[in-house]
Chains A and B, each alone.
Chain A
Amino acid sequence: MGRELICGYGMPLEKNNVDTDQIIPARFCYVPKRHGHENSLFGDWREKKDFVINNPIYKKATILVAGYGFATGSSREYAVWAIKDYGFNVVIAQSFGEIFYKNAIINDLLPVKTSSEATHALWGILKKCPEEVIHIDLYDELIKVGKQSFPIFIEPGVKNKYLLNQDDISLTMEELDKILLYESKRYPYLATTE
Chain B
Amino acid sequence: MPETLYEKIRKNHCIEKLDTGEELIYIDMHLLHEINTPQAFDALRDKNRTVRHPELTLATVDHNTPTSSVEDLESDFVRREHTMLLEKNCKEYGIPFRGLGKNGQGITHVIAPEEGLVLPGSTLVCCDSHTTTHGAFATLAIGIGTSQVEHVLATQTLRIPKFKSMKIDIKNRLRNNISAKDLALYIIRKIGTGGGFGYVIEYTGEAISNLTMEGRMTLCNMSVEAGAGAAIIGVDDITINYLQENYKCPEGTTLQKEVERWRTFVSDPEATFDKVVEIDADDVEENVTWGINPSQNITFAESIPSVDDYDEEYQKQEAERAYEYMRLQPGMNLADIKIDKAFIGSCTNGRIEDLRESAAILKNRQVNHNVHLLVVPGSMRVLKQAINEGLDTVFKNAGADFRYLPGCSMCVGLNKDSLGAGVRSISASNRNFEGRQGPGAMTHIASPRIVAASAILGRIASPSEIEEA
Residues of A with Cβ closer than 8 Å to B?
15-17, 19, 21-22, 25-27, 29-30, 32-34, 44, 67-69, 72-77, 80, 94-100, 102-103, 106-107, 116, 155-158, 160-161, 168-169, 172-173, 175, 178-179, 182-183, 186, 188-194
Contacts and interface: CB of A to CB of B under 8 A. Distances in A.
A68 B434 contact: no
B117 A193 contact: yes
15 contacts: A15-B317, A16-B318, A25-B413, A25-B435, A34-B42, A44-B434, A68-B312, A76-B145, A95-B197, A98-B229, A157-B20, A157-B22, A175-B157, A178-B16, A193-B58
B252 A189 contact: yes
B184 to A, nearest CB: 15
A174 to B, nearest CB: 10
A192 to B, nearest CB: 5
Contacts of A107: 147
B35 A172 contact: no
A98 B127 CA distance: 13
Contacts of A69: 193-194, 227, 314
Contacts of B313: 116
Contacts of B144: 75, 99, 102
A83 B197 CA distance: 22
- Interface size range of chain B in the complex: 35 or more
A172 B151 contact: yes
B185 to A, nearest CB: 16
A182 B26 contact: yes
B366 interface: no
B24 A172 contact: yes
Interface string B131-174: 10000000000011111101100111101010000000000000
B431 A75 contact: no
A175 B131 CA distance: 27
A97 B118 CA distance: 25
B155 A21 contact: no
Contacts of B38: 32-33
A103 B36 contact: no
A186 B155 CA distance: 15
A67 B316 CA distance: 13
Contact of B413 (A26, A168, A192): A26
Given A44-B435, A77-B36, A194-B96, A157 B49 contact: no
A127 B247 CA distance: 59
A27 B96 contact: no
B119 interface: yes
Contacts of A67: 314, 317
B39 A27 contact: no
Nearest to B312: A68
A34 B146 CA distance: 10
B157 A179 contact: yes
B105 interface: no
A29 B35 contact: yes
A75 B128 contact: yes
A182 B15 CA distance: 6
A34 B435 contact: no
A21 B21 contact: no
Contacts of B129: 73-75, 99
Given A19-B293, A106-B145, A191-B118, 8 more contacts: A17-B293, A25-B413, A32-B81, A103-B147, A155-B21, A160-B20, A169-B49, A172-B24
A70 B366 CA distance: 42
A106 B147 contact: yes
B227 A72 contact: yes
A44 B122 contact: no
A193 B159 contact: no
The 8 A-B pairs with the shortest beta carbon distances in the complex, nearest first, are: A157-B21, A32-B38, A16-B314, A157-B20, A103-B145, A68-B314, A77-B145, A77-B146
A34 B194 contact: no
A139 B144 CA distance: 29
Given A75-B143, A98-B197, A193-B117, A161 B20 contact: yes
Contacts of A19: 293, 431, 433
A173 B58 CA distance: 23
Contacts of A15: 317, 321
Contacts of B85: 32
B57 interface: yes
A72 B21 contact: no
Interface string B263-301: 000000000000000000000000000000100000000
A22 B293 CA distance: 12
A193 B431 contact: no
A190 B122 contact: yes
A30 B78 contact: yes
A96 B161 CA distance: 15
A175 B16 contact: yes
A25 B387 CA distance: 34
B436 interface: yes
A192 B412 CA distance: 30
Nearest to B295: A17
B74 interface: no
Nearest to B85: A32
B82 interface: yes
A191 B246 CA distance: 12
A22 B155 CA distance: 32
Nearest to B153: A169
B122 A191 contact: yes
A31 to B, nearest CB: 9
A30 B148 contact: no
B55 A75 contact: no
B456 to A, nearest CB: 29
